[in-house]
Amino acid sequence: MLPIHLFALPAAMDKIMDIASKHFIPVLEDSCQSHGATNKSHQTGSLNSYICYPFFPKKNITSGEDALISTNQPNS
């Protein structure tokens, strides 16, 4: 699943994570447009093991068509 946090508004991560865990679906959050936003008491991008920051020209951080993927999982 790829929830996208837009305009500093977090996606419904509680519902997304519930569905993903029930069906063993990995979740990759797009946090490029939510710097500093919080989902309840958690900052966007901190509820999940995988976070991406696409750098498409219309995103907040841009460098063309690149992206950054971050994880807290060792050996991933």
pTM over 0.75: no
In a domain, 23, yes or no: yes
Decide: residue 64, CB within 10 A, 0-12 exposed, 13-18 middle, 19+ buried.
exposed
Percent pLDDT > 70 in the chain is 80
Percent pLDDT > 90 in the chain is 12
Least Cα distance to 2 among 71, 39, 52, 44 occurs for 52
Q: Is the pLDDT of residue 24 over 90?
A: yes
Q: Which domain holds residue 58?
A: 13-71
What is the tens place of the pLDDT at every residue in 56-66?
A: 666 666 666 77
Which of 10-14, 18-22, 30-34, 68-72 is most confident? 18-22
Q: What are the DSSP E strand ranges found in the chain?
A: 28-30, 38-39, 42-43, 50-54, 67-71
In a domain, 61, yes or no: yes
Task: Give the total number of structural domains in the chain.
Answer: 1
